[in-house]
Amino acid sequence: MPYDLSLYVNASKDAFVWVNVDNSVVVAKDRQIMDGIKDALAVSFQLKWKDGISSIVGIHVSPIPGGYFLSQNVATNNILNRRWSGQLSHKTPLPANITLPTLPDSHHPICRNNFLSIIGSLSYVINAIRPDMCFAVKMLARHQKNPGAEHWKSLQHLLGYLKHTADYGIRLCPDPLIGIKVSSDASWGGEFSRSCHSFVALLHGCVLSWCAKCLITVAASSCHAE
């Protein structure tokens, strides 16, 4: 498909094959179509076929009534075991109304490599199943070049939130009566006069896509930023 080169759809659009390196997921309308795809692939490739799905690129897939639940308990626990101070858990990703100014280049960064490592691990989690942490991670990532004491304090706060919500994930139970819904919000101005923009898109009531970032250009208003 033009928007995802790793996704293949058959002509009748009743079967999908998603490919990631040497792992693939096949979804079809019925068993007969699925078996046909399996036989066709077996002609050209040596297959290890497994009915059902339990994980995909590090995401655990659990069947629930009406759909599936996606989680990343292994990745989450690895981050917490290696990086969380273990002091406090929190109910919000960051404190309310927090501001984290950019430190001057003359400031000596505090444990920059460790800061970068934690941000990288958290980025993997938010890109997969945690839109609720997206803004907080992106906000802290803007200071990964030169982190200070306040940045580390905020990062530990975020890890405390991850501990409090370690069992959170994405519930995929589509409702055909619900179409596409997109919610968007943006600030106006901020540091360097660049607005922060975020959105979350849902299809049939299921989270489909999300993003949080600073705009490249200066917006004339919050409406313009959105």
pLDDT, tens digit, for every residue of 88-126? 889 999 998 888 888 887 788 889 899 999 999 999 999
Q: How much of the chain, in percent, has pLDDT values that exceed 70?
A: 92
How far apart are the C-alpha atoms of 7 and 17, rounded to whole Å?
6
Amino acid identity at 188:
W
Q: What is the dihedral of CA 153, 156, 162, 163, to 10 degrees?
A: -130
Neighbour-count burial for 175-209, b at 16+ CB within 10 Å, e otherwise:
eeeeeeeeeeebebeeeeebbbbbbbbbebbbeee
pLDDT attached to residue 189: 64
Residue 195: CA count within 13 A, CB half-sphere: 17
Domain chopping of the chain, boundaries = 1-52, 70-164, 175-225
Tell me: pLDDT of 220 over 80: no
Convert the pLDDT of each residue in 157-166 to its tens digit: 999 999 999 9
